[in-house]
Amino acid sequence: MRDTTQHWQKILANGFSSAHELLEYLNLPAELGSHLAEKSFKTQIPRRFAEKMERNNPNDPLLLQVLASAEELTIQAGFELDPLQERNANPIPGLIHKYAGRVLLTLTGVCAINCRFCFRRHFPYEDNNPGQKGWQKAVDYIAADPSIHEVILSGGDPLLASDKSLALLLDHLASLPHVQTIRFHTRVPIVLPERIQANLLSIVDAQRFHIVMVLHCNHPKELDIDVQNACLSMKKSGWVLLNQSVLLKDVNHQPNVLIDLSKRLFDFGVLPYYLHLLDPVQGAHHFDIPLEQALDIHRAIQSQLPGYLVPRLVREQPEMPYKSIIAS
């Protein structure tokens, strides 16, 4: 099998790894960034994502998602290191079993882009990155529970695993007849569409599973022709393409932005799925939107779009065995 990892890894390695470097590129003052904030959650931004930002604009919605700022250093009541209490549902390294019928595997702790609002920004990846040698324990866990019909590949970003690694894991999971669906949670097709290559498609298509690709896109500026081509390639393979966004202050809290996002995603063969309220993770309080305002925004979207283009407004609560639908 030919491994095409090297090409997209070179592109990824050419990205921005510091707020100072990014701000200099955008002709913005260095004091907008925070080196201290980067110490606890590093900067990782593909160059192609930065190229979509408007220079000389400190309020660019793509910049605000990824810029390490001093606001992250404020300890805000109610914002926690583990807001979803995932450690309580982490029976073995690299596996989270929170919901009936599904398990989530953290294939890697690395993302193509580090979003400052990430609910796993404090997740103990050092204890949950078992690698190929540790995958057998996860497979054994799933094999022992025939109620598990879906395996969610997450991370970090699962598409940053090599082609060979993904093929090996999918082969292991294919040996379990009760596993019917593989779901990917990924931002890669949006921020690193070069990863969606023929070799990856053939590896996934070779398996018997239903394939669900849940993308993460928050703003229409993130979408371009390369992202469209990546999405259409996956669509042609028969994969179900969905999108989940996070409602973020100063990024996408205007109804017209989310309406445009839904329309653009549909052009790319992707259905809007979830609009998440912010998970209250420490360091991200400045992105938070009050519930009543979120409901107003969602009602405005509903008034302008057909139902199939309106994402469900949801909140994840650690004590609930499912996501709470606030509005649909």
- In the sheet that 271-276 helps form, which strands lie side by side, from edge to edge? 95-96, 102-106, 150-154, 181-186, 210-216, 240-246, 271-276, 312-315, 324-327
Output the average pLDDT for the chain: 94
Confidence of residue 262 (pLDDT cuts 50, 70, 90): very high
Confidence of residue 2 (pLDDT cuts 50, 70, 90): very low
Q: What percent of the chain has pLDDT over 70?
A: 97
- Domains with residue ranges and CATH for the chain: 5-73+83-327 (3.20.20.70)
pLDDT at 44 over 70: yes
Spatial distance between the Cα atoms of 167 and 175, rounded to a whole number of angstroms: 13
User: For residues 96 and 129, which has the higher predicted lDDT (pLDDT)?
Assistant: 96
Give the per-residue pLDDT at 6.
61
Spatial distance between the Cα atoms of 220 and 296, rounded to a whole number of angstroms: 20
Spatial distance between the Cα atoms of 253 and 293, rounded to a whole number of angstroms: 9
212 burial (CB, 10 Å; 0-12 / 13-18 / 19+) is middle
| Tally of CB atoms within 10 A around 220 | 18
Q: What is the pLDDT of residues 184-230, one digit of tens each?
A: 999 999 999 999 999 999 999 999 999 999 999 999 999 999 999 99
Q: What is the pLDDT of residues 274-287, one digit of tens each?
A: 999 999 999 999 99
Give the per-residue pLDDT at 3.
46
Confidence of residue 320 (pLDDT cuts 50, 70, 90): confident
Are 10 and 110 within 8 A, CB to CB?
no
Give the per-residue pLDDT at 5.
52
Are 79 and 282 within 8 A, CB to CB?
yes
Give the per-residue pLDDT at 124.
82
| Token pair recorded at residue 77 | 């009541």
Residue among 43, 54, 52 nearest 16 (CA): 43
Q: What percent of the chain has pLDDT over 90?
A: 87
Spatial distance between the Cα atoms of 185 and 156, rounded to a whole number of angstroms: 9
User: For residues 16 and 319, which has the higher predicted lDDT (pLDDT)?
Assistant: 16
> Rounded mean pLDDT of 133-160?
94
CA distances from 289 to 11, 13, 249, 251 (A): 34, 34, 6, 11
Give the per-residue pLDDT at 130.
67
3-class DSSP assignment, residue 157: coil
CA 182 to chain centre: 16
Give the per-residue pLDDT at 319.
78
The residues, ordered by sequence, that sit 6+ positions from 314 with a Cβ below 8 Å of its Cβ are 274, 275, 276, 277, 323, 324, 325, 326
Residue among 179, 174, 94 nearest 137 (CA): 94
Angle between helices 255-267 and 291-302 (to 10 degrees): 50
pLDDT at 4 over 80: no
β-pairing, 271-276 vs 312-315, is parallel
Residue among 112, 83, 89, 88 nearest 288 (CA): 83
Give the per-residue pLDDT at 1.
39
Lowest mean per-residue pLDDT among 24-33, 88-97, 232-241: 88-97
